[in-house]
Amino acid sequence: MKRRSGIRIMGGLLKLLAPLLHVMLLCITLGTLGYLCAIFINILAAHLLLGVTGESPWRLSFGGAAAVMILIAVARAGLRYAEQTCGHYIAFKLLAVIRDRVFGALRRLAPARLEGKGRGDLIAVITGDIELLEVFYAHTIAPVCIAIIVSLIMTLLIGSFHPLLGVLAAGCYVLVGVAVPLITAKMGRAYGMEARAKLGGLNNVFLESLRGIREVLQFGQGQKKEEEIREKTEKLNEVQGGIRRHEGAASAWSGALVMLLPLVMLGLVIRLQVGFSAAVMTTVMLAASFGPALALANLSAAMDSTLAAGERVLSLLEEEPETPDVVNGEKPDFAGAEVKNLSFSYDEEEVLHDLSAVFRPGEIVAVTGRSGSGKSTLLKLLMRFWRAPENTVKLSGLDVGRIDTLHLRTLESYMTQDTDLFNVSIRDNIRIGKQDATDEEVEEAARKASIHDFILTLPRGYDTKTGELGETLSGGERQRIGLARAFLHGAPLLLLDEPTSNLDSLNEGVILKALREEAQASGRTVVLVSHRASTLGVANRAYAIESGRLS
Ligand SMILES: Nc1ncnc2c1ncn2[C@@H]1O[C@H](COP(=O)(O)OP(=O)(O)OP(=O)(O)O)[C@@H](O)[C@H]1O
Ligand SMILES: [Mg+2]
């Protein structure tokens, strides 16, 4: 992952804010007015005291001043509430937008770019990181703007007593609101990145252990996994402890500065001999106006994690898919497929070497080869999940890269080695193959896939939710549901990756018969990856991939 600077991360996050700019401006205005109210209460109090000694130019009665102060205090509370409401409104609106875009990005990147990513990492982005950005949108942008505006106004006000006092005030705000936060954020940023990475790693181990719980138990790996998780948790705790210590030190530093700086101001006013009343007023003004700058200092601690989260979310949004969707591409009817002199490698090592094969309409073509020889890779290239060199993979005589993606999906059905089921009814699980299929069509497809009779034995037949069955569906049953999907999809090219590997010969026989009928009756082309001699028997021709080559 490329690292970018904090400013660039914020720039990237701010771009997403554009549609809600007007709410943000309102939020900043409300916040600025709120802080000015808080400062003005102190100024009023100082005047009241100076009035007692006859030093204030304002003639204030105690009762009048108290009433105004109460009014301002109430206004301050109201303004603060309204500012917070605006901030959260923006944050949650934007989080919804970002979630949507992250999901869009995952869809774009799938499946090729997601193959190398741990699911734990992705879950950390989708849940934790996006949530953390709330801090940026609700509690960062507005405070920064408010701090700048309020500090500017106060610099001018204090400067009106003497320009040097104004310069000193500006210096104080920059020190508390910019220098300290920047230094502490820089020191703490690595912690933030590390904590997120460690959390992702921990999630990965958890998910892995849950998914592979059978293997863990079978091979007595329970204790080892437990230790691994404990070790990772301890490391995460260490990093998080570092963040907390860092936060503590940062707020101690800024707290001390806020105490000391008014003393410096007092020293300067005494030197400049601006008079008693001006001395009191400027010192009170400075002491009372650190609120917005201090908010930035406190924010810097949270910024570490927020920037790290922003970096990960933006990287995901900006990642280029392996095969971008082709819109407005060619939309040919299916007239056979072909690979020609196809060589392909995921990384450095070549998986397929100079492969050539044709798949004519109505043919069942078997592809065999030892495990790891590249059979699934060949199917993925035909699906255009990965990018093959130009003109090496063709459909209807056209390079797959030129065919409209949505159209390509209607031309091809792909069934992988494992079928994923969603927690909806069996009927809807099969219907994924064709959204508008009638119940009759769904049942017809289930019959061809030899799963209809089994479904009828379920408590609520086709309406049984897969969640109600827990993990009880057998590998073969899942596989047949996957096949029913592929049959229902009705694409002219069926790419089947070991479709009958988990089935007994009876069910396999039914399916192979259905495949033969599909090929003969509706002219479907079937590419069948399999090792089994029984499956190969149904094929018109067979290719064997030997060390990346066809024979
Ligand atoms: N996303 C990927 N990135 C890098 N290498 C990969 C990727 N997917 C597969 N490979 C590698 O490519 C080679 C071919 O894999 P492929 O899945 O096509 O084999 P296969 O013939 O289908 O094997 P099997 O019969 O076990 O399913 C293997 O060495 C595999 O490790
Ligand atoms: Mg395979």
Q: Residues 53-63: pLDDT tens digits?
A: 777 667 778 88
Query: Which range of residues forms the domain containing residue 149?
Result: 6-318
Comparing CA positions, the residue from 242, 232, 240 lying closest to residue 120 is 232
Q: Is 334 in the pocket of ligand 1 (CB under 6 A)?
A: no
Q: Is 382 in the pocket of ligand 1 (CB under 6 A)?
A: no
User: In this model, does residue 214 exceed pLDDT 70?
Assistant: yes
pTM, full prediction: 0.73
From 376, 387, 414, the mutation candidate for ligand 1 (largest count of ligand atoms within 8 A of CB) is 376
Q: What's the pLDDT at 2? A: 58
Residue nearest to atom 29 of ligand 1 (CA): 372
Q: Is 347 in the pocket of ligand 1 (CB under 6 A)?
A: yes
The alpha carbon of 374 and the centre of ligand 1 are apart by a number of angstroms equal to 6
Percent of the chain at pLDDT > 70 equals 96
**Is the domain of 305 the same as that of 349?**
no
From 117, 339, 352, 375, the mutation candidate for ligand 1 (largest count of ligand atoms within 8 A of CB) is 375
**Is the domain of 375 the same as that of 303?**
no
- Count of domains in the chain? 2
Residue nearest to atom 14 of ligand 1 (CA): 374
Between the CA atoms of 193, 194, 197 and 202, what dihedral angle is there, to the nearest 10 degrees?
Answer: -150
What value does the mean pLDDT take over residues 257-280?
A: 91
Which atom belonging to ligand 1 lies closest to the Cα atom of 417? 27
**Edge-to-edge, what's the strand order for the sheet holding 398-399?**
350-359, 337-345, 393-395, 398-399
**Is the domain of 264 the same as that of 350?**
no
pLDDT tens digits for 163-193?
999 999 999 999 998 888 888 777 777 777 7
User: In this model, does residue 1 exceed pLDDT 80?
Assistant: no
Which atom belonging to ligand 1 lies closest to the Cα atom of 378? 18
Confirm whether 263 is domain-assigned. yes
**Is the domain of 362 the same as that of 307?**
no
Domain limit, last residue, from 289, 318, 347? 318
Which atom belonging to ligand 1 lies closest to the Cα atom of 386? 1
**Is the domain of 407 the same as that of 279?**
no
The alpha carbon of 378 and the centre of ligand 2 are apart by a number of angstroms equal to 9
**Is the domain of 158 the same as that of 23?**
yes
Given pLDDT bands bounded at 50, 70 and 90, which one contains residue 381? Answer: very high
Q: Is 369 in the pocket of ligand 1 (CB under 6 A)?
A: yes
pLDDT tens digits for 232-249?
999 999 988 988 888 888
Percent of the chain at pLDDT > 90 equals 48
Confirm whether 301 is domain-assigned. yes
Q: Is 530 in the pocket of ligand 1 (CB under 6 A)?
A: no
**Is the domain of 179 the same as that of 267?**
yes
**Is the domain of 38 the same as that of 101?**
yes
Domain limit, last residue, from 283, 318, 353? 318
**Is the domain of 205 the same as that of 278?**
yes
Q: What is the CATH number of the domain that holds 511?
A: 3.40.50.300
pLDDT tens digits for 349-380?
899 999 999 999 999 999 999 998 999 999 99
User: In this model, does residue 551 exceed pLDDT 60?
Assistant: no
Confirm whether 323 is domain-assigned. no
Q: What's the pLDDT at 432? A: 92
**Is the domain of 416 the same as that of 509?**
yes
Residue nearest to atom 4 of ligand 1 (CA): 346
Dihedrals phi, psi of 451, to nearest 5 degrees: -125, -5
**Is the domain of 312 the same as that of 411?**
no
**Is the domain of 444 the same as that of 492?**
yes
Question: How far apart are alpha carbons 83 and 33 in whole angstroms?
Answer: 10
Confirm whether 139 is domain-assigned. yes
What value does the mean pLDDT take over residues 497-514?
A: 86
Comparing CA positions, the residue from 368, 478, 459, 354 lying closest to residue 415 is 478
Confirm whether 299 is domain-assigned. yes
More confident residue, 57 or 11: 11
Question: How far apart are alpha carbons 525 and 515 in whole angstroms?
Answer: 10
Q: Is the CA virtual torsion 396, 400, 403, 404 positive or negative?
A: positive
Question: How far apart are alpha carbons 111 and 416 in whole angstroms?
Answer: 12
Ligand index nearest the alpha carbon of residue 345: 1
Q: Is 372 in the pocket of ligand 1 (CB under 6 A)?
A: yes
Q: What's the pLDDT at 7? A: 86
Amino acid present at 281: M
Q: What's the pLDDT at 354? A: 92
Confirm whether 54 is domain-assigned. yes
Question: How far apart are alpha carbons 249 and 257 in whole angstroms?
Answer: 12
Q: What's the pLDDT at 208? A: 84
Ligand index nearest the alpha carbon of residue 497: 2
Q: Is 377 in the pocket of ligand 1 (CB under 6 A)?
A: yes
Q: What's the pLDDT at 391? A: 95
The alpha carbon of 376 and the centre of ligand 2 are apart by a number of angstroms equal to 4
Question: How far apart are alpha carbons 548 and 551 in whole angstroms?
Answer: 10
Confirm whether 498 is domain-assigned. yes
Q: What is the mean pLDDT of the chain?
A: 88
What value does the mean pLDDT take over residues 107-123?
A: 78
Q: What is the CATH number of the domain that holds 104?
A: 1.20.1560.10
Q: What's the pLDDT at 390? A: 94
The alpha carbon of 103 and the centre of ligand 1 are apart by a number of angstroms equal to 26
Residue nearest to atom 30 of ligand 1 (CA): 372
Residue nearest to atom 7 of ligand 1 (CA): 346
What value does the mean pLDDT take over residues 419-440?
A: 92
User: In this model, does residue 42 exceed pLDDT 60?
Assistant: yes
Given pLDDT bands bounded at 50, 70 and 90, which one contains residue 470? Answer: low
pLDDT tens digits for 288-304?
999 999 888 767 666 77
Q: Is 375 in the pocket of ligand 1 (CB under 6 A)?
A: yes
Question: How far apart are alpha carbons 110 and 113 in whole angstroms?
Answer: 6
Confirm whether 141 is domain-assigned. yes
